[in-house]
Structure 1
Amino acid sequence: MSKRDYRLDKAKGLLIFLVVVGHLLEEISGWSMGYSRVLLTVIYGFHMPAFVFLAGITAKSNRLAERVLVFLVFAVTAQPVYYWWTELFQKPPDIEFDEPYWITWFLVAMVWWLLSLPLIERFPRFMLAASIAIGVLGGVQSIFEYQLSIGRAMTFFPYFVIGKLYGKQLLEWSAQLSVTKKLGMSALAVVPMAMFFLHDIDRRWFYGARGFEFFDEAIPYGVGMRVLVAAGAIAMVIVLLAWSGLLPNSLILVGQRSLAIYLLHGLIIRAVEKPLDWFLDSTSGSITILLCFVLAAVVTLLLAWSPFDRALRWYSSGLARFVTSRIALFTPSRSTARH
C-alpha cells in the first residue's frame, strides 16, 4: 500500500479555502472592486485548474463504476437541495434539467473525467495530446457550454490528464527545487495574473464554460486566450506544488474533507449573501474583504468537522454500492454467459 502524500492534502486544503473566499468575494460584487478584483483574478486564474490537476493525481480506475456513481449521487441530490435552499433566501434560481446549478458543475464534470481514465491509462500520449486539443479548441463549439458541464469538462480536461500522467513527477520535481528557484518561479507565475488584472479580461474566460462565439471573438483570439489562461494556471499549479510541503499541517484534514466542504459551503454562501451586502453598505470595502477571509476560515474549519464528511461518504458510497449491486444481479457472469 502506497504511503499517503500529505502535501496533496495540504494543497487541497488551501484550494478549498480559496474556493470559499472566492465565492464570498463574488457575493459582494468583488469583481467591480479594485483590491477584491486582484484577489479574484489570482484565485480564479488557477484554483479550479489546480483542483482538477490534483483530482487527476489521485484518480483511480479500480471500482470505477462505484466512483462514478458517487459523483452522480451528489450531483443529482444537490440540484433540488440547492434550489429549495436558495428559494429560502432569495429568488429561486433558473435551473434547467441538463444544466448543473452553480458549483454542482464540478460533480458532473468529474463523471466525464473519471470515465476517461481507462483511455488515459491505455493510451497516455494520445490522450494527453487529445486533451490539450479539446481544452484549447473546445471553445470553437457553442452547442455544449453549461449543458451537462460539457463545456467546462472540455476546458479543464488537460489538467486532469496531466495530473494523472505526470502529477506525482511534477510534485517531486518542484518540491526539490532550491528556495531561490521556487521564489523565481513564484515571481514568474505572478506575471500572467498581473496581465489579466491590468487588461481587465472578462472573468468568464476563467470559468471555462463559454465558447468563443459568446465573447464575439475570432477563433485565433479565442485559442490564444485559452492558451494564455492555461499557461498562467499551470505556472501557479507548479508554484503551489513547490511550496506545498511548507503549508501548515492544519490544512491536512481540511484537504482530506475538501469534497464535503465544497458541497456544503454553497449553502452558507447563499445564506449570508444579504448580510454581506448590508455589511458592505455599512462599512468600507476593505473591511468587508477582510470579513470574507475570516468568514471563509470559519466556514472551512466548521465544514471540515468529521461528522459532515462521514455522513456524506456514508450516503453517497452506500447508495452507489446499492446501485452497483442491483446492476450486478441483472448482469450475467462470464461463466453463465458461456453456458
Structure 2
Amino acid sequence: MFHAPNGFSRAPLPQARESEPVPTTQESATPALAAGAEKAPAKSTSRDAYFDNAKYLAIVLVAIAHAWEPVMDGSRASRALYLLVYTFHMPAFILISGYFSRSYTGRPDQLRRLLTGIAVPYVVFEIVYSLFRRWAQHAPEQPISLLDPFYLTWFLAALFIWRLTAPLWRLIRWPVPVALALASLAALTPDIGADLNLQRVLQFLPFFVLGLSLKPEHFQMVRRREVRLLALPLFAGAGAFAYWASPRMNFSWLYRSSSAQELGEPWWVGVVMTLAFFGCAALLTAGFLAWVPGRRTWFTVLGAGTICGYLGHGLLIKAADYGHVFETYAWLSDPSGEIVLTLIAVAAVTLLCTPPVRRALRFVTEPEMTWAFRRDAAKLSPRR
C-alpha cells in the first residue's frame, strides 16, 4: 500500500478492478481501515498480491497503534513511534480505497455492492459496538445512533460518502487541490457537528481523492529500487523528528476529528496543519508502499479479510479497555509490556483476517442480500 527481494518489477501493475476488495480504518481508522469494503472476486487469481500485501500490512499497523495508545504516555520513544505510524497508516489505507474506487460510476451493481459491502457492515457493527459498550459499562441509557459513528466505524461511514462522490472528483480538473481546500476549511470550522463524523470525513478526504487520481504506473514508480533506498533515510528522518515532536505535539491533530479552534489554536493553524500532515503522510505512504512486497507471500491471502481484522480488533481493544486491563497490569507500559502488546495485536489481527474468520463473518461483511433487491436490477446496468 511491492516486488520481490530485488525491489523492482519490470512487469506493469494490472489496472485497478472494481471488484477488488477495499480495506476498511481508525481511526483511528481505519479503517480501515481498515478494511475490505468490496466483494472479493470469484477467482483468487484475479487479485493483485501487491495490494493484498499492502492492505494486510496496513491493518497490522492500525492494530499495533491502537494497542500502543493506552500505554504509551510514559515513554517518549513509544509516543514517537505512535506518532510516526499514525501519521501514515490510515492515509495509506484510505489512498488504496480511493484507488480501487476509480471505476465507481454509480451503476446499479455498484450501488448494490456499496450497500451490502459498506452500509450493512456499518449498521451492524455500529449497533454491536454500542451494545457492547452498554453491557460492559452497565449503562443501558447510553444511546445508539447511526449518525454518530462509534470508535472504528467512522471509516465505513466515510468510505460510503467518499465512494458516492467518486464520479464528481473525476469531473474536476484539479481534484486533489480542491479536496485539500475542503479539508482546510473543515479544520477551521468548529460547527460541523458530530453527524457521520463529517469533520474526519472531510479532513481525510484528500487521501481518498489522491487515490482516485493515481494510475498503475504511479505504484510501479514507488516500487523502483532507488525509491526503496530513499525510503530508508525518509523514515529515519521522520522517526527522529517524531522523537523531537512527541512531547510537544497535541496528538488530537492525528485523528482529524476536531477543528483548530476546538484544539485551542488560531484558525490559520488548522490550514497549516492540514497541509503539513498531508505532505508528511503522502511521503511516508510512498515510503511504506515502496517496501511492500509484490510477490505472493504467506500473508497475501489475509489481504482479502482486512475488514474482519479492522472491525474485530476494535472489539478486542475495547474489551481490554472496559476490563481495565491496561490499568490493572501496569507493567504493560514498560518496554517489555509494549512488545507483548505488539505481538498480541499482530497475532490477533492476523487471525481475524484468515479465510475461516472471513467466511464466518461473510453474512455481515459481505452479505448477498438478493432478497432485498429487484431481480431486474442487473438489467439496468449497461453492458461492458
CA distance in 2, matches of 1:184, 1:34: 21
Residue aligned with 2:341, SS: helix
1:53 and 2:95 matched: yes
Structure 1, unaligned stretches of length 5 or more? 335-339
**Identity in percent:** 25
Work out whether residues 138 and 211 of structure 1, in 8 Å CA contact, stay in contact via their aligned partners in 2: yes
1:36 and 2:36 matched: no
Q: Given the superposition, is the C-alpha separation of residues 287 and 127 from structure 1 closer, same or farther in structure 2, using an over 3 Å criterion?
A: same
Give the drift of 1:276.
3.4
Residue aligned with 2:367, SS: helix
Residue aligned with 1:244, SS: coil
Work out whether residues 99 and 149 of structure 1, in 8 Å CA contact, stay in contact via their aligned partners in 2: yes
CA distance in 1, matches of 2:330, 2:204: 37
- Which residue of structure 2 lines up, in the alignment, with residue 71 of structure 1? 118
Work out whether residues 9 and 252 of structure 1, in 8 Å CA contact, stay in contact via their aligned partners in 2: yes
Give the drift of 1:197.
2.0
Q: Given the superposition, is the C-alpha separation of residues 128 and 278 from structure 1 closer, same or farther in structure 2, using an over 3 Å criterion?
A: closer
What is the 5 A alignment of 1:95-244?
Answer: 95-121=144-170, 123-166=171-214, 168-178=216-226, 179-190=228-239, 193-194=242-243, 196-197=245-246, 200-244=248-292
Give the drift of 1:210.
0.7
Work out whether residues 279 and 288 of structure 1, in 8 Å CA contact, stay in contact via their aligned partners in 2: no
Moved more, 71-80 or 161-170: 161-170
Structure 2, unaligned stretches of length 5 or more? 1-13, 16-45
Give the drift of 1:261.
0.7
Select the residue among 63, 67, 70 that pairs with 1:20: 63
Q: TM-score under structure 1 normalisation?
A: 0.86
1:295 and 2:295 matched: no
CA distance in 2, matches of 1:167, 1:327: 34
Give the drift of 1:256.
2.0
Work out whether residues 98 and 212 of structure 2, in 8 Å CA contact, stay in contact via their aligned partners in 1: yes
Deviations 1:285-315 (A, max 9, x none): 1121011111112201211221321233343
Work out whether residues 12 and 258 of structure 1, in 8 Å CA contact, stay in contact via their aligned partners in 2: yes
Give the drift of 1:275.
6.2
Give the drift of 1:262.
0.6
CA distance in 2, matches of 1:278, 1:191: 30
Q: Given the superposition, is the C-alpha separation of residues 320 and 127 from structure 1 closer, same or farther in structure 2, using an over 3 Å criterion?
A: farther
- Which residue of structure 1 lines up, in the alignment, with residue 302 of structure 2? 254
Residue aligned with 1:125, SS: coil
CA distance in 2, matches of 1:294, 1:333: 49
Structure (1 or 2) with the greater helix fraction = 1
Give the drift of 1:152.
1.0
Give the drift of 1:149.
2.1
Q: Given the superposition, is the C-alpha separation of residues 17 and 171 from structure 1 closer, same or farther in structure 2, using an over 3 Å criterion?
A: same
User: For residue 10 of structure 1, what is the amino acid of its counterpart?
Assistant: N
Q: TM-score under structure 2 normalisation?
A: 0.77
Question: How many residues get paired?
Answer: 329
Give the drift of 1:102.
0.5
Give the drift of 1:21.
1.1
Give the drift of 1:80.
1.8
Moved more, 157-166 or 284-293: 284-293
Q: Given the superposition, is the C-alpha separation of residues 235 and 98 from structure 1 closer, same or farther in structure 2, using an over 3 Å criterion?
A: same
CA distance in 2, matches of 1:4, 1:243: 19
Moved more, 103-112 or 204-213: 204-213
User: For residue 4 of structure 1, what is the amino acid of its counterpart?
Assistant: R
Give the drift of 1:111.
0.5
Give the drift of 1:170.
2.7
- Which residue of structure 1 lines up, in the alignment, with residue 26 of structure 2? none
Q: Given the superposition, is the C-alpha separation of residues 15 and 146 from structure 1 closer, same or farther in structure 2, using an over 3 Å criterion?
A: farther
CA distance in 2, matches of 1:284, 1:38: 15
Deviations 1:146-175 (A, max 9, x none): 321211111111111111211533311111
CA distance in 1, matches of 2:215, 2:79: 30
Give the drift of 1:95.
5.0
CA distance in 1, matches of 2:133, 2:113: 28
Residue aligned with 1:214, SS: helix
Q: CA RMSD in A?
A: 2.9
CA distance in 2, matches of 1:328, 1:246: 37
